[in-house]
Structure 1
């Protein structure tokens, strides 16, 4: 199945399995490898050798919840997608490094859009080429330009029609918009938008406390509600946790 993503479904409701199976079959870039209606059987049978790209898993299941099961098998799949009728599990889902969260009933359009997001995130894993590692900005002084190296870029702060560009060397003001800077950084995984007025470098995050992000230059950035889901997904992926007590 070259070029296709291997999929596995875990859901105790057979009609839900059949529906997702139909959706997967309809997508030319997906292939259903196997499915389970018993989470305990999935715990035993799923192996790393299955080469799972996307695991679709229900949350409410008898014997073992999807949240509990994911702690044991998350490392056996590239992407984890929770499928449930309850929105109350959303925060817990991203706490176990879920990539997506689909609320039932799941339509074909909702499913296809989610797959498109996953494929887009995979294509964005490429690092920028050397000629994209820097750019120049024009300052408020006549004929003065400043070179901004992306590796030194800490954050971008929006100020109406201007932006503050925070770097390790200092701060510069440029007559640019957040949209223009975001387009320039598109595809570079080192940067993430965390608030309407802030794009930050993940390389310079010092700590996260609640909805406040502190960068290495002591700049405190508030985490916006719109961007919270994306940021928490990144945070969980980068959080080191102990596997002691978790069955293989």
Structure 2
């Protein structure tokens, strides 16, 4: 039996929750695991979840807005679809790399179409088809002829989650069926990439700032484990000095 995708609803309006609940039951492959009327409560639950969830999130909520919640989940494996009555939030939503945007009121057809786009892109992982010194070529499944080229220099950081990894790049995000150990071994001879936590590898070319254990990479923040700090600084100086000599 095919595994279903867990999803959550976060909205302060009972009517919106009921509508989404009805739509979710109509769509095969996804399963509602919970509903929240407060973003802060949902945040506490989501940061404990390592399995990627599909999250339907309202923006305009009391206490903590949907925008603030997404910023707090920036390094999580979850995928967000905004549900809102305010079209002016659309640009900010995509700047935050929210996966899609549903403008209230929306019908079942629009809900299904946008949900399926997100599922196909982020919950059906790619596999590395071929690799060169400069790039990974990704393929969804053996039958498709479509290959996606991901330049290694464009990778901002890599996050591991269960038997999958996620490439966060300057051009988009990609879920790949591979263990974190496997990708670490593939990149072992590339000095640009460095492991800074149990499940994070960063690209030094995308590193903008280091402040204590916080690494700033093109709008992302990655927290480095304290036991990596000393070795990271030695590595960073080595890479930086080598770059400066060129």
TM category, shorter: 0.5 to 0.7
CA distance in structure 2 between the partners assigned to 1:35 and 1:20 by the alignment: 10
Displacement of 1:45 in angstroms is: 3.5
* Matching residue of 2:29: 29
- Aligned residue-pair number: 160
Is this contact kept in 1: 2:7–2:32, CA < 8 A? yes
Sort the Cα spacing of 1:48 and 1:75 in 2 relative to 1 into closer, same or farther, 3 A: farther
The question of 1:60 aligning with 2:60 is answered yes
RMSD: 3.4
How do 1:1-248 and structure 2 match up within 5 A?
A: 3-49=3-49, 51-121=51-121, 122-123=123-124, 125-128=126-129, 151=132, 186=146, 188-190=147-149, 202-203=151-152, 233-234=172-173, 239=218, 241-242=220-221
Displacement of 1:65 in angstroms is: 0.9
Sort the Cα spacing of 1:13 and 1:126 in 2 relative to 1 into closer, same or farther, 3 A: same
SS of the aligned residue for 2:61 comes to: coil
CA distance in structure 2 between the partners assigned to 1:232 and 1:185 by the alignment: 21
Sort the Cα spacing of 1:46 and 1:119 in 2 relative to 1 into closer, same or farther, 3 A: closer
SS of the aligned residue for 2:62 comes to: coil
Q: Which has the larger radius of gyration?
A: 1
CA distance in structure 2 between the partners assigned to 1:69 and 1:102 by the alignment: 17
CA distance in structure 1 between the partners assigned to 2:59 and 2:153 by the alignment: 35
Is this contact kept in 1: 2:75–2:221, CA < 8 A? no
Indicate the structure whose relative CO is greater, using CA pairs within 8 Å and at least 6 residues apart: 1
CA distance in structure 2 between the partners assigned to 1:9 and 1:85 by the alignment: 16
CA distance in structure 1 between the partners assigned to 2:171 and 2:67 by the alignment: 17
CA distance in structure 2 between the partners assigned to 1:115 and 1:126 by the alignment: 22
Please give the TM-score of this superposition, normalised by the length of structure 1: 0.54
CA distance in structure 2 between the partners assigned to 1:152 and 1:45 by the alignment: 40
